[in-house]
Structure 1
Amino acid sequence: MAYLWIAFAIVTTICLLNLLLAFGMIRRLREHGALLSKMPTGPTATDLILPAGAQIGSFSAVTTAGEAVSTASFADGTLVGFFSPGCAPCRERLPEFVAYAAELGGRDRVFAVVVADVAAEATATVEQLTDVARVVLEKDEGPVAAAFGVKGFPAVGLVSADGTMVASGSMLSGLPRPAAV
């Protein structure tokens, strides 16, 4: 019978220690949660590309069709889009971009940049865009993406003829419809 009391005391002590450790871990997790919530995260949807009213930087590039494009080659209300083949949101929003571009009525008013380190990875994305846009293929942090201040994908915007961003974001829903452009 004495052994039972000793076993009961040991089990009770272990349970109380376990309970104290659990409360300590919960307290530490709450502290870490508060610290993590104060940490800055990656770019927000509005920070992916230059904001409306900003002037795009100077650049020059050659499209996949061999056309020269530069800062001066934008008409009023030109749609720009930046996509990466390895980006799941890019794959989801690409058909919407193509439909929006088709509504604009011409490749001269649509400019797309596909960012990929290996050109073969971008083939499908480039093919989807070629019919509706002038497409530039460049590596990560290339000159065109730098001129537009691109920090993430997908990034879309409307540019005026003088190179000013009219509207921008990561979704086309934030841009005016083509009839209003």
Structure 2
Amino acid sequence: MVAVYERGLGFGDLTMAADAVRAHTTAGLDAFALASVEADALDEVRAALAERGFVVSDGSGQEAAGAGAQSQQGWVNLIALLVILGYIAIAVINTLVMATGERSREFALMRLIGSSRGQVRSMMRIEAVLVAVIGMVFGVVVAIPPLIGVSMGISGQPLPALPVLGSLAIIGAMGALALVALWIGTNATMRTRPIDEIGSR
């Protein structure tokens, strides 16, 4: 056995010979050269290569490059998550606005029997939070299979790499949009006087 190759982020299924790859590049040169150097000669070799314009790094440099590639995949997954949750958010917002608009007579009846505008809004805020939480959980569950597919296609790993803060920000933004949509729908529905609204068809 000469080597074991594990497909990394963004690489294809096959590894080609160096000569074949160089023939299909613009410069015809290798991007990296790996060298094994004795510990006592490391500084001397590093200085000699640096004088000739080479960028010298140890294993940590390769680890940083791998981390950068993983970060790029994380952003790709994040964009996919944004698209999926965006579609779900649009559907949830439309449903909330339409459903709230159809409850105008219910709001009018509540106000005629003594409920204030603030009490109606408070009830709708609680409903909005419940709907937003359920929508966010549902959205994340729906987004998992496509993200696993993207991750398997890019890195061969089933667990997608996602920036935690970015993911939480997107999920929070989707929930906030649902709350704003319900707030706007509630205010628009209560513009009409209750006595006029209760008699409408």
With the length of structure 1 as denominator, give the TM-score of the two structures. Answer: 0.33
Point out the structure with max Rg over C-alpha.
2
With the length of structure 2 as denominator, give the TM-score of the two structures. Answer: 0.30
Looking at secondary structure, tell me which structure has more helix per residue: 2
